[in-house]
């Protein structure tokens, strides 16, 4: 049975004109490092707005808030995060906890 997410981290990224491909590559490198170096990480997705191709939303699922805090306190976190943010004109992030879950019959 897959791990159950209890905590999520989101990013709302506004990428500067001409930087979309580089941003996707840097985000991928950042989250690949996250996956490899951080216990408690479950998965991540980066989605792109079809109406506004410079707008991206990232969502990472974690086992718990302590895993997120440990990730964010690593020196490598700040360095890798800043590499992504440098390609953006705006960025906002949040941490969430599960309030309720609804699953399909096929999930």
Q: How far is CA 100 from CA 7, 10, 38, in A?
A: 12, 17, 26
Read off the pLDDT band of 5 (50, 70, 90). Answer: confident
What CATH number should be reported for the domain holding residue 11? Answer: 3.30.70.100
pTM: 0.90
Q: Is 80 exceeded by the pLDDT of residue 3?
A: no
Condensed to tens digits (0 to 9), the pLDDT of residues 63-102 reads 999 999 999 999 999 999 999 999 999 999 999 998 988 8
Domain count, the chain: 1
How far out from the chain centre does Cα 55 lie? 14
User: What's the domain range around 57?
Assistant: 7-97
Position 47 in a domain = yes
């Amino acid at each position: 049975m897959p791990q159950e997410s209890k905590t999520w981290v989101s990013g709302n990224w506004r990428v500067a004109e001409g930087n979309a491909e580089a941003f996707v590559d840097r985000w991928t490198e950042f989250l690949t490092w996250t996956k490899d170096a951080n216990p408690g990480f479950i998965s991540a997705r980066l989605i792109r707005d079809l109406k506004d191709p410079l707008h991206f939303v990232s969502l990472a699922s974690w086992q718990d808030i302590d895993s997120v805090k440990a990730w964010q306190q690593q020196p490598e976190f700040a360095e890798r995060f800043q590499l992504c943010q440098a390609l953006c004109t705006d960025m906002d992030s949040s941490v969430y906890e599960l309030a309720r879950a609804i699953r399909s019959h096929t999930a």
